[in-house]
Amino acid sequence: MRALIRRVLNASVTVREECVGEISNGLLVYVGVSKDDTNDDLIWISKKILGVRIFEDSDQRMNLSMCDLNRDILLVSQFTLYGSLKNGYRPSFNDAANQEVAFLHYEQFLNLMKRSYKGNIQSGQFGENMQIEAVDDGPVNLWLDSKSKNY
């Protein structure tokens, strides 16, 4: 599983001209599911998202997490996080899970996040063409990959 975490002042997701999720002051997280993901990958990513300390404390140091501040989270499924350009210019998505598997894992991940976090969690709509609007805060962006945990 991969996740791109963006610290935002606000963010929203629209599907067919209808806003389906909107947050203020929190994290916009794009989530991609690989064909090899297991429940352990979902758990690892969820713990990192909730525990990452990317909000400033009173000394202006990145020292506070979502759990410290109870801010909003907007989750958006994003299979293109598994796009590879190693064989040219057209992305290959061979490492991404197929739509059926990805949907099941994304729903499990969303439910895990909602059980693990008492704050406001919003979600886009899996498999839909979505328009995302966001105002970055910082900017602060972090990349997570449950198969490559050393960065």
Mind telling me the catalytic residues? 78-80
Closest CA to 102 of 1, 25, 29: 1
Contacts of residue 31, defined as CB under 8 A and 6 or more positions apart, other chains included, come to 1, 2, 3, 45, 75, 76, 77, 78, 81, 106, 109
How many beta carbons lie within 10 A of that of residue 131, not counting itself?
A: 12
Give the C-alpha separation, 130 to 12, whole Å: 10
Angstrom CA distances, 3 to 27, 60, 89, 119, stand at 11, 25, 23, 19
pLDDT in tens, 16-36: 999 999 999 999 999 999 999
Query: Is residue 151 very low, low, confident or very high in pLDDT (cuts 50, 70, 90)?
Result: low
**Mean of the per-residue pLDDT values of the chain:** 97
pTM: 0.96
Give the C-alpha separation, 130 to 79, whole Å: 13
pLDDT in tens, 122-144: 999 999 999 999 999 999 999 99
Alpha helices in 1-70 (DSSP H): 39-51, 66-69
Query: Is residue 150 very low, low, confident or very high in pLDDT (cuts 50, 70, 90)?
Result: confident
Architecture of domain 2-141: 3-Layer(bba) Sandwich (3.50)
Whether 149 shows a pLDDT value over 90: the answer reads no
Domain spans in the chain, listed from the N-terminal domain onward: 2-141
Closest CA to 32 of 4, 5, 1, 6: 1
